[in-house]
Amino acid sequence: MARLQPVRGTHDLLPEQARAFRRVADAARGVAERYGYHEMATPIFEFSEVFKRTLGDTSDIVTKEMYTFADRSGAEITLRPEGTAGVARAVISGGLAQHMPLKYFYAGPMFRYERPQKGRLRQFHQIGVELLGVAEPLGDIEAIALGAATLDALGVSGQVTLELNTLGNAASRAAYRELLVDYFEARRGELSRDSLDRLARNPLRILDSKNPGDRAAIAGAPTLGDSLDAESADFFASVRDGLDRLGIAYAVNPRLVRGLDYYCHTAFEFTTDALGAQGAVIAGGRYDGLVGQMGGPETPGVGWAGGIERLSMLAGAPEPPPRPIALIPIGPRAEAETLVLADRLRRAGFAIELGYRGNLSRRLSRADRVNARAAVILGEDELARDMATVRDLDSGAQDEVPLAALADRLAGLS
């Protein structure tokens, strides 16, 4: 039977959850459009190379989390673990770089082979934005403001705080890297095997480790702030100044690094403590090196991605669907008429629920179960007089209404 279970870490989205997810994506898309970011969609699978090149071969995603397989032609394919690499690939392969700046929004499933737990799945869903072609701090400010406005639109701002850091420019990171290597070399014994590997290949990544032993060693590590050169410090000051002017509160977290090689300058996360261990709801930053690293023209970029599962848990139950009207025919002639009446009312914009079978009481209880606002009962002799009975299912009141006036009568129900 195991094969008839969903794959571990995947979930069916039944209507209420699908609605909750759609609410997050719709709210985010609406806000994004007000900022001039329009939706695009890349395929959910790409050649593995797209992710290997951009995420770097030491990242957790590439080393442990990718869903990779050979397709029937032998091509190595990966289900996308995140959105930015695909967008960058699309910009390059579609020759879009000549139209900078580019502003995109996306929403859809992502796939990572993770240890499933609350808020951490193998198929999960993200919303995200990318701003390409803007090297100025204004781009970072706008991207963060767009994230804050999205959280506002979802009504969850009060549960979320913005953590901010800078990774500086390449020169600052190189200087910092040396300090960091010296520091961790002296503490090799405390580091996990993964972090020893990171120490050799990309020591900044150690700061991102969730291993408890690593965390203890990390606590005393030098921070990047002390290695920033003037350009990097100015850039960060401009970003903070913009956020201050917009009234967007943040806490500088010098330990916040992004796990990916191409990030520089601004790194940020909107986090919550309302969801237990999985606290990051939106994470992003600047990735000036990414498009160039993929073989495209050197292109600055900044963006973020947010987890729809986590955001929808924070936002709580979505608006219920519109309440339907139940049509309840009694007898074969009424049955036939109901089909046409349902069609007419649906075209007029009503949500119509047909019971399909059963007697009056069975159909009324079905109407209740689907939270119908009213039932329209169609008996043979009423139909003969071109009438129907409308029962208000909230008040229980009922009256006869001419069929010609039915739509108006139903529209009048609050």
CB atoms within 10 A of CB 48: 19
Determine contact, residues 70/76, Cβ cutoff 8 Å.
yes
Binding mask 51-90 for ligand ATP (x = CB under 6 A): -------------------------------x--------
Q: Please, what is the minimum distance in Å from the beta carbon of residue 197 to ligand ATP?
A: 18
Task: Return d(Cα 378, Cα 338) in angstroms, integer.
Answer: 8
Our measurement of the distance from residue 20's CA atom to the centroid of its chain's CA atoms, rounded to an integer in Å, reads 11
Non-local (6+) Cβ contacts of 103 within 8 A are 35, 36, 37, 38, 129, 130, 131, 132
Task: Tell me the sheet residues that pair with 399.
Answer: 390
Piece in contact with ligand ATP (CB under 6 A), picked from 10-18, 121-129, 199-207, 376-384: 121-129
In the sheet with 76-79, reading across from the earlier edge strand, the strands are 45-47, 76-79, 67-70
Q: Is 20 in the site for ligand ATP (CB under 6 A)?
A: no
Determine contact, residues 83/128, Cβ cutoff 8 Å.
yes
Q: How many residues bind ligand ATP (CB under 6 A)?
A: 18
Q: Cis before residue 402, ω within 30 degrees of 0?
A: no
Q: Is 218 in the site for ligand ATP (CB under 6 A)?
A: no
Q: Is 120 in the site for ligand ATP (CB under 6 A)?
A: yes
Pick from 88, 81, 82: nearest CA to 131 = 88
Q: Is 366 in the site for ligand ATP (CB under 6 A)?
A: no
Single residue of 259, 296, 300, 379 touching ligand ATP by CB under 6 A: 259
| Residue 181 vs 274, nearer CB to ligand ATP | 274
Q: Please, what is the minimum distance in Å from the beta carbon of residue 119 to ligand ATP?
A: 6
Q: Please, what is the minimum distance in Å from the beta carbon of residue 262 to ligand ATP?
A: 13
Pick from 184, 195, 191: nearest CA to 222 = 184
Q: Is 278 in the site for ligand ATP (CB under 6 A)?
A: yes
| Residue 142 vs 163, nearer CB to ligand ATP | 163
Single residue of 89, 310, 366, 373 touching ligand ATP by CB under 6 A: 310
Single residue of 102, 224, 280, 326 touching ligand ATP by CB under 6 A: 280
Pick from 289, 356, 291: nearest CA to 327 = 356
Q: Is 124 in the site for ligand ATP (CB under 6 A)?
A: yes
Q: Is 307 in the site for ligand ATP (CB under 6 A)?
A: yes
Longest dimension (CA), the chain: 94
Piece in contact with ligand ATP (CB under 6 A), picked from 117-125, 147-155, 166-174, 406-414: 117-125
Q: Please, what is the minimum distance in Å from the beta carbon of residue 61 to ligand ATP?
A: 7
Question: What counts of helices (H) and strands (E) characterise the chain?
Answer: 15, 16
Q: Which residue number is nearest to ligand ATP in terms of Cβ?
A: 307
Which residues here bind ligand ATP, judged by CB under 6 A? 82, 112, 114, 119-121, 124, 126, 259, 278, 280-281, 283, 305-307, 309-310
